[in-house]
Amino acid sequence: MANENEFDLIIQNADLVLSNPDNPSNFKIEKMDLGIKNGQISSLGTLSNLPTKEKFQGKGLTILPGLIDTQVHFREPGLEHKETIEMGSRSAVAGGITGFFEMPNTNPATLTKQDLERKIHIAENTSYCDFAFYMGAAQKNVQNLAALEKLPGCCGVKVFMGSSTGSLLVDNDDLLRQVLENTHRRIAVHCEDEPRLKERKYIAQNSNGDVSKHEEWRDEETALLATQRLVRLAKPMNHPIHILHISTQQEMEFLKTEKTGDLITVEVLPQHLSLESPDCYVNLGTKAQMNPPIRNTKHRQALWKALQAKVVDVIGSDHAPHTLEEKSKTYPETPSGMPGVQTTLPVLLNHMHRGHIGLTDIVRLMAVNPSRIFGIRGRGFIAPKYEASLTIVDLNKEMTIENQWIESKSHWTPFHGQKVKGWPIATLVRGQFAMRDGVLSKVPTQAFEFQK
């Protein structure tokens, strides 16, 4: 006969990164046991002598609320030769990520209810972690966005102000204003100024294969102009916006003065925090090509300064894989983007050991804020009745990131060969191990639920 008081799992004697849902900025780290039952955190404290189906020894390990990657491109449907939801989510859990928001620039683009439901169906059957999908904004669906953004499994609307990959483009203020008028939830925006990109495309076309010209073509002004236009349209309307992958000092200085509360939220990427030109283009060639581009030391340092000043709200990976064959073409015929979902946490933990970021900052930027800003139910905190989706790390484990470790279908990383300190040991999705000591398991997954 089943014991009603029996836990499904007790994690013993681990360091827990805790914050209060009513005061999420106040963190503490405490050593205790964590009990899980029916996919939820049931109890915290001294639980060693209580009945449980399974125990996990957490001594020497640190437990974070399950990290969420709010910007990935898993390429399915239509571009499965680059990535799939199955392989992308395997890469996620291998890197300690418990859930993802996936972008709409697939083939077909995610523009209708049917497009969204197709992705959800694929994810329900193949994903190794929980999920949600962005609805793309385009002229053809702008009048329907208010209904589309409320669909189950939709995390919001994505806007491309500059052409990046795919056919989605909102390149004029009239259409952007319509998007804002027809949505209520936070929209996520890729800010590059399309007229300036067109005007300066000759720089890439005349590059003679020099990929470092990518940074010159898609320059700081291209990013700043679009970010300023977006803010100046959205702010008077009091419309919440999430500005993706900020890459320049100028944007951060502008946003620092414009941000009030959570109306404007800001994302940065590990790539822009870790890599810099010209070295990245010398060492990685077209593997370093992405939009917006990797920039020089001045901009990288400005991003760190903004992160430490809490101008930055979220870290996402912008996982955007292409095959090595595609990347081996001659610039500018090469596609922009690189894998990232699996390496985000190890790279950030290594930055933590270098003194650039605190452990609680990682939790704030990848668990607490994604849950709070986007309104994900039951996520972001280690607390009773919250989902037992957890990221378990060994802060002192030293490893080398290698291509063969990468679960993504692309099987490469720009961080190949980098030695890091700090490593994901286990990934729990609603109480079950999706990854444990590097071994992956397919557990039941589902779409995130959002507050109305």
CATH number of the domain where residue 391 is located: 2.30.40.10
Looking at the fold, whether 52 and 75 belong to one and the same domain comes out as: no
Looking at the fold, whether 334 and 391 belong to one and the same domain comes out as: no
Looking at the fold, whether 127 and 18 belong to one and the same domain comes out as: no
Query: With contact defined as beta carbons under 8 Å apart, do 331 and 289 qualify?
Result: yes
Looking at the fold, whether 83 and 43 belong to one and the same domain comes out as: no
List, for residues 188-223, the tens digit of each pLDDT value: 999 999 999 999 999 999 999 999 999 999 999 999
Of the three residues 374, 394, 424, the one that is the final residue of a domain is 374
Phi-psi region of 262 (alpha: psi -120 to 50; beta: other; left: phi over 0): alpha
List, for residues 282-298, the tens digit of each pLDDT value: 999 999 999 999 999 99
Indicate whether 164 pLDDT > 90. no
Looking at the fold, whether 341 and 407 belong to one and the same domain comes out as: no
List, for residues 108-133, the tens digit of each pLDDT value: 999 999 999 999 999 999 999 999 99
Looking at the fold, whether 248 and 142 belong to one and the same domain comes out as: yes
Looking at the fold, whether 400 and 370 belong to one and the same domain comes out as: no
Indicate whether 437 pLDDT > 90. yes
Of the three residues 333, 353, 374, the one that is the final residue of a domain is 374
Indicate whether 234 pLDDT > 60. yes
Candidates 428, 361, 349; CA nearest to 29 is 361
Looking at the fold, whether 320 and 399 belong to one and the same domain comes out as: no
The pLDDT of residue 1 is 42
Looking at the fold, whether 354 and 213 belong to one and the same domain comes out as: yes
Q: How many domains does the chain have?
A: 2
Looking at the fold, whether 91 and 197 belong to one and the same domain comes out as: yes
User: Tell me, what CATH number does 168's domain have?
Assistant: 3.20.20.140
Residue 318 within a domain: yes
Indicate whether 171 pLDDT > 90. no
Of the three residues 374, 404, 430, the one that is the final residue of a domain is 374
Looking at the fold, whether 99 and 55 belong to one and the same domain comes out as: no
| Domain assignment of residue 21, given as a range | 9-63+381-440
Residue 237 within a domain: yes
Give the 3-state secondary structure of residue 19.
strand
> What positions carry a catalytic annotation?
318
Q: Which residues pair with 157 in a beta bridge?
A: 135, 187
Whole-number Å distance between alpha carbons of 275 and 357? 16
